[in-house]
Chains A and B, each alone.
Chain A
């Protein structure tokens, strides 16, 4: 399959892994920002190819993981109402709220539907004028253009029964929050290629400069990720700091300006709470003044829902790379993919769920080598 197979080619992978081993002379800690990259690293066992000196930290780039408990509880509150069709991306269904998840709401009679795009929710709103159709708008800059387009179209069509529960977040403020933490361990970033397809990477230049960290815009296939790591390590070894674009086949410096215009037309930046990380200034979006009629926060009585995170879940520290998932006392005991305390264990992209698999993998490797 063109543009995929070339980037999973064993020879290319081996060449890059060798180049990384040759380039790396000291311990380095790199954070891959995107959950999709974490997923690929685990799926392809890319960490098995790296020298022990390189530590990969799985960053807060899993949209499911960082959506705060409060937003999940609000979603559950709305989805349980009669006369509501609640639309969500599939992987939000099993994320635990404070008392239940959306899958349970569906089992209790709520009309919860999985959609592949917010535009499907707009179609549902057209088809069901007697219902309120609510789309749970979560995710990073990657998913924002289609959300923006959905509400733009709904307004053009004059739809009164389409609403968005918005919990969109931006990557750069989260990077700054991690870098300015006293406990920060991150020395270089693999930035999320898909986010940069939309936003470009100019906004990363001041971050690299201010915090003196290399940032490499990186794709999602094994060759992409290894190339990203190689470029990052090379900069670190040579004491360089710059923003590089490994994912040039998809990412342009300025990104997709049409998509950005659509985002800016519909949304405005606002302080958002991140699961595990707390409030981060200007780290998310809400609907702008022209679109407040579409805001589920205004349409439904959910302002009183103000839940806090489980105290025993340390996902915030995991997302910042301060502890490894296995260092959490609840890891693999009270907290498993079957019975997760936090979203990092439930999402396939979550660091804890990925590590749960990885740790078992490590134990086999150790057993086999004995």
Chain B
């Protein structure tokens, strides 16, 4: 498993039982983690990267800047509640916001498949522009590549973002304290299930939209309100469970959740029940968890409740005593279970 040392070009693999990339390597679970840890971190090894936060926080002269990048490969490109353009802007704004940064500039890299409709591209670019304007950021640089028909999925977008930290606070898993509360800004699983329903043609009784949204405004309110946020994480492909497991692992702290506090909309629950999916691992694009001192919980909730994206904010758990990195959830029936990192994406069960 360890890096061989006889050649600079030696590959640090093997990373696991696979000698080729499989889809599960992109699922955000154990295989993604091991790819990052054993390949990227081993090779790129530097303090900013090794923090493994959503954004790298970099000290430049007397400023602290946040820098992040993300690629968007969603299918379908247009979905209830958004499109790939909105997603690409919001996702990167959110990654910046999670480090406590105020987003300033974005880039836009497009990989377009030959034959893609200009009309669709226009809609997507317009959507990016509108979202960036609403957040008060400029898209200041970009790149366009076209690949042959059949070599891409219509359109892939990469966005990078730069922001500035107006606060001296260190927002990171290492700041977690015993008795901190975990707050989420709403119900979970909307994005993943809305996308899946659209892609697979499920007919849901109730309409379901992705929660795709720019969270930077809401985060700014919390920071301006003097909330001593210890850690934040937006919930993306691996869902609530993966985000919390990552935090718990990085912090070496146990996090305990209360199932009854975690809201899940009926259409999300229905699809999860039918397909045997666990909503805690389903993707979100407009939800984030913040970990902060319990003494400030009421104040933080009051601030969030006043913002459209935080109306349903609730405390869903707390940081437990002990230094075992683990996320447990107290079930509705009073028992507890451990939430574990999945290998890859969730696979629908047979029966």
Contacts and interface: CB of A to CB of B under 8 A. Distances in A.
Interface of A: 1, 4, 8-10, 13-14, 36, 39, 42-46, 48-49, 63-64, 89-94, 96, 103-104, 106-108, 114, 116, 138-140, 142-143, 194, 222, 337-339, 348-349, 357, 360-361, 364, 367
A36 B328 CA distance: 21
Contacts of A108: 20
A90 B22 contact: no
A-B interface, 4 closest residue pairs, ranked by CB to CB distance from nearest: A45-B335, A90-B347, A13-B333, A90-B348
A143 B350 contact: yes
Interface stretch (B138-146, B159-167, B172-180, B268-276): B268-276
Contact of A139 (B273, B343, B351): B351
Nearest to B328: A364
Contacts of B349: 36, 39, 89-91, 348-349
B76 interface: no
Given A8-B333, A14-B334, A139-B351, 11 more contacts: A1-B270, A9-B333, A13-B333, A89-B349, A91-B348, A91-B349, A106-B23, A139-B350, A357-B338, A357-B340, A364-B324
Contact of B337 (A14, A43, A89, A103): A43
Contacts of A9: 333
Interface of B: 16-18, 20-24, 30-31, 34, 200, 266, 269-270, 273, 275-276, 322, 324, 326, 328, 331-338, 340, 343-344, 347-351
B20 A104 contact: yes
A92 B351 CA distance: 12
B344 A8 contact: no
A100 to B, nearest CB: 9
A10 B343 contact: no
Contact of B24 (A4, A43, A103): A103
A46 B335 contact: yes
Contacts of A143: 350-351
Contact of A94 (B34, B337, B343, B351): B343
22 contacts: A1-B270, A8-B332, A8-B333, A9-B333, A39-B349, A45-B336, A45-B337, A89-B349, A91-B349, A94-B344, A103-B22, A103-B23, A116-B275, A139-B351, A143-B351, A338-B16, A338-B17, A348-B349, A361-B336, A361-B338, A364-B328, A364-B338
Contacts of B350: 63-64, 89, 91-92, 138-139, 143
Contacts of A36: 276, 349, 351
Residue among A64, A90, A92, A116 with most chain B CB within 10 A: A90
A9 B333 CA distance: 7
Nearest to A365: B336
A91 B347 contact: yes
Contacts of B328: 364
Nearest to B349: A91
A13 B331 CA distance: 12
A222 B333 contact: yes
Given A36-B351, A104-B18, A44 B273 contact: no
Nearest to B351: A142
A43 B328 CA distance: 11
Contacts of A140: 351
Contacts of A64: 350
Nearest to B264: A1
Nearest to B330: A45
B334 A114 contact: no
A1 B266 contact: yes
